[in-house]
Amino acid sequence: MTSKYFMPTRVVAGRDCIVQNSDLFRPLGKKALIVTGAHSAKNNGSEKDVKTALDSVGISYLVFDKVMSNPSVACAYEGAGIARSNDVDFIIAIGGGSPMDAGKAIALLAAQEIEEEDLFSGKYDSKVLPMAFVPTTAGTGAEVTQYSILTNDRKQTKTSISFDLLFPSIAFLDAKYMEHLSIETTINTAVDALSHAVEGMMSVRASVISNALAAESIRMIMCCVPEILDWRSVKNAVLDANTREQLLQASFLAGTVIAQTGTTAVHAMGYSLTYFKDVDHGRANGLLLGEFMRFTAKQQPELIGRIIEIMNLQDVDQFINVMDILLGEKETISPEDIRYYSSLAIQTRNIGNCVVTPVQEDLQKIYEASFL
Q: Which residues bind a copy of itself (CB under 8 A)?
A: 1-14, 17, 20-21, 207-209, 211-213, 215-216, 220, 249, 252-253, 256
Q: How far apart are CA 5 and CA 167, in angstroms?
A: 13
Q: Based on CB atoms, which residue is closest to a copy of itself, 209 or 313?
A: 209
Q: How far is the CB of 159 from a copy of itself (least distance, A)?
A: 25
Nearer to a copy of itself, 17 or 198 (CB): 17
CA distance 177 to 356: 38
Which residue, 102 or 194, has its beta carbon nearer to a copy of itself?
194
Residue closer to a copy of itself by CB (options 13, 183) is 13
* Residue 177 or 341 having the CB closest to a copy of itself: 177
Crossing angle (nearest 10°) for helices 241-261 and 208-233: 150
Cα 7 from Cα 167, distance rounded (Å): 7
Task: State the minimum distance, in angstroms, from the CB of residue 5 to a copy of itself.
Answer: 4
d(CA 218, CA 351): 22
Do residues 69 and 38 make contact, with C-beta atoms less than 8 angstroms apart? no
Residue 205 and residue 162 in contact, taking contact as beta carbons nearer than 8 Å? no
CB of 138 to a copy of itself, least distance (A): 13
CB of 69 to a copy of itself, least distance (A): 29
How far is the C-alpha of 355 from the C-alpha of 296, rounded, in Å?
8
- Work out how close the CB of 109 gets to a copy of itself at its nearest, in angstroms, rounded to a whole number: 23
In whole angstroms, how close is the CB of 17 to a copy of itself at the nearest point?
5
Per DSSP, the three-state class of 100 is helix
Residue 14 or residue 45: which is nearer to a copy of itself going by CB? 14
In sequence order, the 6+-apart residues with CB closer than 8 A to the CB of 311 are 218, 219, 222, 319
